[in-house]
Amino acid sequence: MDAGDGKNSLDQATREFLAARPRLFGIAYRVLGSAVEAEDIVQEAWLRWQDTNRAEIHEPAAFLATVTARLAINLAQSARMRRESYIGPWLPEPVDTSVDPQLGAERAEALDLAVLFLLEKLNPVERAAYVLREAFDYPYKQIADILETSEANTRQLVSRARKHLSAERKEPVSSTAHRRLMEVFVAAAQTGSLSELENVLTADVVSYSDGGGVRGASKIPVVGRPHVSKYLAAFAPRFWPRKEVRWVEANGRPAALVSADGNAVALLSVDVSAHGIERVMWVMNPAKLAPYVASLDN
């Protein structure tokens, strides 16, 4: 193949790939919940694109999306087994969405950390179908082709995912209301005020700490308003002194980056409904924090 031959040239292939890249990363990240793994998938898609007979590809973006989605599904299937042996709760790896609020998608769906966490409970094919439909607005027929299934089955996959999310999660509040309640929560957590914590937490709130076995994080979820509030109050004197809090954006929502001596120790995010804080999520695993902090600095 002549690298300088028009459509088949490597320069043209590079332009087409770079144009599609934000979408490819957005697909892979939503399916996997990991920015590092998503980057690996995008790199593999690029290698396959170079080795493809591109003269036979009429829609490069569609071809690349198909390759990326299938690679992500395959990796998600093996990642699921790895996460079963993960030490403590597993939370998605956060991403900075301040530059690209929709992360390469048509809509900022399946991006919130709480949604990605809940999608992890679905099988990878269901998750991919939901992501392609809800975030990227692909027609059911195209999703069916990507997943190598029927259009009717694709509709069922998306429907099951929607029902799962609606059953597990209440309607979230606006970003302004989210930030306001989170500020109250952080202040209460810093002082260890039981009454203020109880005022902002829902009755069935759950706190998840993802330390990956490295940080001194709780290895089991803490469930229920009394337990979570007491846990946070007891936690306060040991955790918060000499910590700095930086308000950031993660996955389209306000979050608090907690640092000690300039080093990030936790990214705190919450899932908020009209009833209060439904989930508290502490990402403390250094392997997940480091890429996020690097993206902020860049």
Q: Per-residue pLDDT tens for 34-53?
A: 999 999 999 999 999 999 99
Residue 212: is its pLDDT beyond 80?
yes
CB 111 within 8 A of CB 102: yes
Instruction: Return the pLDDT at 4.
Output: 43
CA proximity to 165, closest of 202, 203, 120, 210? 120
Residue 220: is its pLDDT beyond 90?
yes
Residue 236: is its pLDDT beyond 90?
yes
Residue 3: which pLDDT band, with cuts at 50, 70 and 90? very low
Residue 6: is its pLDDT beyond 60?
no
The C-alpha atoms of residue 110 and residue 98 are separated, in whole angstroms, by: 16
The C-alpha atoms of residue 212 and residue 215 are separated, in whole angstroms, by: 7
Instruction: Return the pLDDT at 2.
Output: 43
CB 283 within 8 A of CB 266: yes
pTM of the complete model beyond 0.85 = yes
Instruction: Return the pLDDT at 8.
Output: 56
The C-alpha atoms of residue 201 and residue 198 are separated, in whole angstroms, by: 5
| Range 138-152 average pLDDT | 98
| Range 19-48 average pLDDT | 97
Residue 151, φ and ψ in degrees, nearest 5: -65, -40
Instruction: Return the pLDDT at 279.
Output: 98
Residue 5: is its pLDDT beyond 80?
no
Percent of the chain with pLDDT over 70: 97
Per residue in 146-181, pLDDT (tens digit) is 999 999 999 999 999 999 999 999 999 999 999 999
Encoded amino acid at 228, one letter: V
Q: What is the mean pLDDT of the chain?
A: 93
